[in-house]
Amino acid sequence: MSPSAETASGDDVEVPNNKSRVTVVGSGNWGSVAAKLIASNTLKLSSFHDEVRMWVFEEVLPSGEKLSEENVKYLPGIKLGRNVVAVPDLEHAVRDANMLVFVAPHQLMEGLCRRLVGKIRADAEAISLIKGMEVKMEGPCMISTLITEQLGINCCVLMGANIANEIAVEKFSEATVGYRENKEIAEKWVRLFSTPYFMVSACQDVEGVELCGTLKNVVAIAAGFVDGLEMGNNTKARQSAAIMRMGLREMKAFSQLLFSSVKDSTFFESCGVADLITTCLGGRNRKCADAFARNGGKKSFDELEAEILQGQKLQGVLTAKEVYEVLRHRGWLELFPLFRTVHEICIGRLPPTAIVEYSQS
C-alpha cells in the first residue's frame, strides 16, 4: 500500500475510459483483505485499472504511524499490494471510481452515504461487504438498500465466511455475490474478487445473501456461549449441533418473513449453511461469546471487544440487537427464541446458561 501522494498513478495520469476503476470504502480488517484480493486481480485483468484506491479513515496511532501508510492496526504484516493506494480524503477516494466496494462499519454507513451524495460517478456500481441492517421506524433496511436509496446506484452484496485473517494468509475460503437483476455486473464482481484461494459465485437473491451473512453472526454468538459453558465434550457437541440447526431455521424463517423473494436455494450457496457452520465453529463472534460465557457474563462485550478485538465492535452483538428490535416491533419475539435469547444474554438480562435451557426445547 502506498500513500497517495507518493504513487506514480495519481490523479493526473490519463487512463482509457473503458477500464473500470475500483475504490474500497473502508480500511478495517475485512476492508484491507478485500483490497488485497481486488488488487491482485486488477493487475491481472485488462478490464480493470491497476490502481485500487482505499479510503482510510486517518488515524495516527500511539506509535506515531499513520494508518494510511501501513495498515498496522487492522492487518499488521500483510502486504496489500503496491497498487493499493491509501487515500485519507473520501471525496478524492471515490471521485473517479465506477466500482465502489463498501466495507465500513455498518453503524457509519448512513453518515458516509450522506457525505457521498453528488460526489460519485453517475454510472457507479456498488457492492456491500457489510453485515447488519439499519432499523428504522418504518422497518429494517438492509445496507445494500440504504446505498441504493441514498446514492441512487445499483448495489450487490458479497457475503461469506467472515474470517478475514484466514483469507489474508491465503487459506481457502468461499463467498457469494448476491445481485438483484443485472447478472453481468454480478459476474464482473465475481471476477474482481475470485482468487485460487477465494472461491466466489453469484446468486440472484440480494436480500437472501445479505441476510445470511448478517444473521449467521447471531447464531455464532449462541454457539460461542455454548462453547464457553462448563459441559462435557459430548454435551457440548450436542448443544452446538442444536444451536446450528435452530439457528438455520430462524435465519431462514426471519429472512423469508421479511422478504418473500428470499429463495430456499440461497441457503445452499457458500453464504448459507456453509458459512454458518464455519462461523459457528470459528471466527471472532464465536470466540468473544465463548469468553463472555466463560466469565459468566460478568465482563461486558464492550470490555471483551476492547481486549480481544482492539476495540472493533462485534458484529453479532450489534446484529442481535437490531434483530431483536425487528422482532419486538413486529410481535415476532415468540417465534424466534434463539435470536431473542442471544440478545437478552448479550445485554445481561439472562445468564449465558439460558442458551442451553432454550436449545433443549
- Taking Cα atoms as reference points, which of 53, 300, 1, 28 lies closest to residue 162? 28
Write b or e for each residue in 234-267: b if 16 or more Cβ atoms lie within 10 A of its Cβ, otherwise e.
Answer: eebeebbebbbebbbebbbebbbebbeebbeebb
Rounded Cα gap, residues 163 and 320, in angstroms = 19
Closer CB to its own copies, residue 282 or residue 351? 282
| Residue 21 sits in the site that holds its own copies (CB under 8 A) | no
**In sequence order, what are the beta bridge partners of 101?**
24, 127
Residues 174-203 that bind its own copies (CB under 8 A): 174
* Alpha-helix residue ranges (DSSP H) falling in 55-132: 90-94, 109-116
Binding string to its own copies for residues 272 to 291, with x set by CB under 8 A, is what? -xx--xx-xxx---------
Give the H/E segment covering residue 55. Answer: strand 48-55
Q: Is 216 a catalytic residue?
A: yes
Rounded Cα gap, residues 343 and 322, in angstroms = 9
| Residue 268 sits in the site that holds its own copies (CB under 8 A) | yes
What are the distances in angstroms from CA 70 to CA 21, 39, 163, 215? Answer: 22, 15, 21, 32
> Least distance (Å) from its own copies to the CB of residue 281?
4
Closer CB to its own copies, residue 66 or residue 236? 236
Q: Which of 36, 216, 252, 287 is catalytic?
A: 216
Amino acid, single-letter form, for residue 213: G
Residues 332-361 that bind its own copies (CB under 8 A): 360-361
Binding string to its own copies for residues 132 to 171, with x set by CB under 8 A, is what? ----------------------------------x----x
Contacting range for its own copies; rule: CB under 8 A; set: 57-65, 115-123, 246-254, 292-300: 246-254
Terminal Cα distance for the chain, rounded = 52
> Least distance (Å) from its own copies to the CB of residue 31?
23
Q: Which residues bind its own copies (CB under 8 A)?
A: 166, 171-172, 174, 234, 237-238, 240-242, 244-245, 248-249, 252, 264-265, 267-268, 270, 273-274, 277-278, 280-282, 360-361
- Could you give the residue numbers annotated as active site? 216
